[in-house]
Chain A
Amino acid sequence: MKASPRTYMTSIALVGSLLATSACSSSGGAGEEAHLTIATVNNPQMQDMEELSSHFEEDNPGITVDFVTMEEGDLRAAVTADVASGAGQYDIVTVGAYEVPQWGAQDWLLDLTEPLQEDAAYDVDDILPPLRDALSVDGKQYAVPFYGESSILMYNKEMFAEAGIEISNNPTWQEVAEYAAELDTDEHAGICLRGKPGWGDLFAPLTTVVQTFGGNWYDENWDAQVNSPEFVEGVEFYVDLLKEHGESDPVSYSFTECLNLLSSGKVAMWYDASVAASILEDPEASEVAGQMGYTHAPVNKTEESGWLWSWNLAVPKTTKNADAATTFVKWATSKEYHQLVGEELGWTRVPPGARTSTYSIPEYKEAAAAFAPITLEVMESVDPTHPGVDPQPYVGIQYVPIPEFQDVGNQVAQGVADAIAGRTTVQEALDSGQEIAQTAGDKQK
C-alpha cells in the first residue's frame, strides 16, 4: 500500500498543532510567576523533597511547585513519552543514570553546565566525580544527581547473632545462600530479592549477579550473550535462592515491598540499593533501626559487584519556565538542602551519594555511621566501564545504555518471572530472551 506523502504530512502537522495548542494552554506565562510541575519517583528521598518544597516556595515568591509522583516504571514511561514527543507537560523530570546520556545526546535536556558553574556558592565540583561524568555528554552536564547509590547487602544483626552466624566482610553468593538457608524460619524469610518483572526492578540486582557469575548482556561486538552458560548459571542461582529461601510471592516484590518487609523485621537479609540503609536506620519508619549491618555486594567471580546508579533532576528543553526550573534543581541539590533535610527531618534522611561534602557533615557522620562509610567506599570501588568478567562495549553496570534495553530487559524479566513461578524453565526463558536481545544488539553494530 502506498501512503500518499501529503496525507502523511497533513496528519503529522495536525497532531503537531494539537500538541502545540495543548502545551500552550497548560503552562503559565514565564517571568516572575511560574508554576513548576515535577515528575518524580515514589522513593522516600523524593517524598522528603516534596514535603520540604514549601521552604523553596517561601524563599522564591512567585514560584509554585507541583509534584507528580509515580512508581519507577510508570515514571520512566510517562517521562520518556513526554520528553520524546515534546509534549512539555513537566518542567523538571527525575531521570535515571540510564537515560541522561541518551537524552542529552538527543538534545532533549537543557545544558546545565553554565548555570551550575556560575554559582560559586553552589560548588558544582563537590558532586561525586563518577556521577558527574556519567551525566555529561561531550563535557556538557545535562542533569544533577539528587542522590547516588550502589548496591549492598543489608542484614539483620540480631537474627545473625541468634543463629550464631558470623558474616564476612566481602561475602560470596554461595555464603549468602548458606546464611539464607539457616535464617529461613517461620517468623522470617532468609533473603529478600526483587522479583517484579521490569528491567529496573528484577533485572537491576539480577544483572549484577549475572555479571559476577561471568555473564553479561552483550560481548564486545554487541552479540547477545543472554543464553550463555554463565548468564543461565547466574539467573538459575538467583531464582533458586529466591524460591527456596526468599520472600513469599516474589513477583510482587521490588524495592519498596522489600523495604517494608525488612523494616518490619520479617526477613534477615536484603541485597538492594544502598540508599535503603538511610530509611532502615530511621526509627520512625523502621522497626529494625540500629539492628542492621551493611556489607559489600556478594560476589562470585569478580572482586566487587555493586552497581552505580543515581536519580537525577533535569530540565527538559520543552519547558516554558527554564529559569525557575533551574533555580529549583539547584535548590534541591544544594548543600543548604542537605542541611535543611537534616534539621527538619533527621540526619539519616539526607540524600546520600551525591555530594562529597555530605560525608564530612559532623551530624551526618554521627547519625549515618552505620552505612555512610560503606556507601562511599563501595561507590568509589565499582568500575562502570568493566563491571563483569569480560569486557563490554558500553559504560554502565546494571543496565545497557541503549534505547532498546528497557524493552529487552522487560521482556526477559517477564520470562524470568514465569520461571520463578515454575511456568517455564530459566533456560527456556533465556533462550527466547537471547533472540530479543540479539535483535536489539544488531541495531548497535
Chain B
Amino acid sequence: MRTNPETPTPSRPAVATLPTQAPLAMWGGAPPRRARRPDTGGAAAKQTARLARGLVLPGLIFTILLTQIPFVVTIVFSFLQWNQLRPDEIRFTGWDNYAVVFTGPDFLRSLGATVTITGSAVLLSLLLGLFLAVLLDRKFRGRGLARTLAITPFLVMPAAAALLWKWLMLDSNVGMVNWSLGLFGIDPVQWNTNYPWATIVIVLVWQYTPFMMLILMAGLQSQGRDVLEAAAVDGAGPVRVFWSLTLPHLRPYAEIATLLGSIMLLQVFDPIAIMTKGTGGTKTLSYLLYERAFIGLDIGQAAAFGVIAVVVTIGFAMITLRSVFSIFVEGKVR
C-alpha cells in the first residue's frame, strides 16, 4: 500500500493536484497536505485566503451538521432496544443488536444479494450501454430522436418503472414478454415466482442502460477524429481501432459510469418492494433495512444493520476506488 499517493513533481503547480486529492481524502485516504501556494508572499493574499475560508465556513458547518448528526443518532439508536409498538420499553441494550446482525442469517444473505444484484445490473447495463453508445454515435437520419428514445427509461421514476414491468411486461396473463415468448412456442414464464432475482436485474438493466450510454457517448464524442483517421491511414480495421484506441480511451468514462451506477444501484428499493418483496435472493440491504424498521418496527436492530451496512460499503468503496479505478489513482491517468 502506498502511503503517500500524491508526490507533487516540481514542474507541476501544486494547485493542479487538488482536485484528485479531495476525493481521496473523502474516502479516508492520506490527509491532504497543505498545498504550497505559489510564493507571492503578500499580506493581502493571506487576507484574501482568510476571507475565503470565513465565507466557506458556514456552509461547511451546515454540511457537517446535516450529514453527520443523523449518522451519530443512528449509532446511538443501534445500542437501544426499541420496538415502535412498545414505547414503554426503550432502553440501552449494549451490543445485543449487533449480535443479531452477526449471528442471524439475514445480514450475509442480504449482503450477497446486494453484491450480486448491483454487480450484475451494473455490468450488463454497462455492456448494453456501450453497444448503444457506439451505435448511436454513428451518423444517421433520425439520430436525435433515437437518442432521446434511448434515454427515456432513465427518466421514468423507479416506482413507475417497476409497476410498468410488473403489469405491462412480465404479467403472466397479459404481459408482453410472455406474449412474445408465446410466438415462439415457449410456455409462459412465471417471472416473479420462479425468477425473482432475474426479474429485478432485468428491470434495473432496462433503467440504467441509458445512464451508462450517456456517459460513454460523451466519451466517444471527445475522441479526436484525427487519431482515428491516422489509425485508418496506418491500415487498422474498425475492430482494431475500437479495441486498441476507442476502448482504452473510454476507460475513465466506463469507470465513472460504473462508480456512479454502483452508488445508485446499491440503494435500489422500488422494484423489490413492488415486485418480489425480498423473496428468492432479492432482499438487498436497503430492503432488509426497510423490513427491520417498518415491518419489524425494530428501530434498534434496523439502526445496527444500517451502521454495519455503512461500514461495509465504505470499506468496499475504499478498496475498489484505490486499486481498480485509474481516475482515483494518480499516475495512471492518461
Contact = CB atoms under 8 A, between A and B. Distances in A.
Interface in A283-314: none
A15 interface: yes
Contact of B84 (A7, A73, A80): A80
A194 interface: no
B164 to A, nearest CB: 14
Contacts, number: 103
Q: Is the interface of A mostly helix, strand, loop or mixed?
A: helix
B294 A417 contact: no
Nearest to B190: A249
Interface residues on B, range: 35 or more
B73 interface: yes
A252 B295 contact: no
Given A7-B76, A249-B172, A85 B84 contact: yes
A197 interface: yes
B277 interface: yes
Nearest to A267: B173
Contact of B193 (A1, A249, A406, A407): A249
A414 B295 contact: no
Contact of A251 (B84, B87, B279, B296): B279
Given A84-B87, A85-B84, A266-B173, A248 B79 contact: no
Nearest to B73: A11
Nearest to B72: A11
A85 B293 CA distance: 12
Interface in B113-136: none
Interface string A52-96: 000000000000000000000110011011001100000000000
Interface string B165-192: 0100001110000000000000010111
B319 interface: no
9 contacts: A1-B94, A1-B95, A3-B76, A77-B294, A84-B87, A251-B190, A252-B171, A252-B275, A407-B297
Interface of A: 1, 3, 7-8, 11, 14-15, 73-74, 77-78, 80-81, 84-85, 102, 106, 195-198, 247-252, 261, 266, 403-404, 406-407, 410, 414, 417-418, 420-423
Interface of B: 69, 72-73, 76, 79, 83-87, 92, 94-95, 166, 171-173, 188, 190-194, 196, 273, 275-280, 290-291, 293-298
Closest 9 CB pairs of A and B: A403-B85, A77-B294, A248-B172, A249-B172, A84-B84, A249-B190, A251-B193, A407-B296, A252-B192
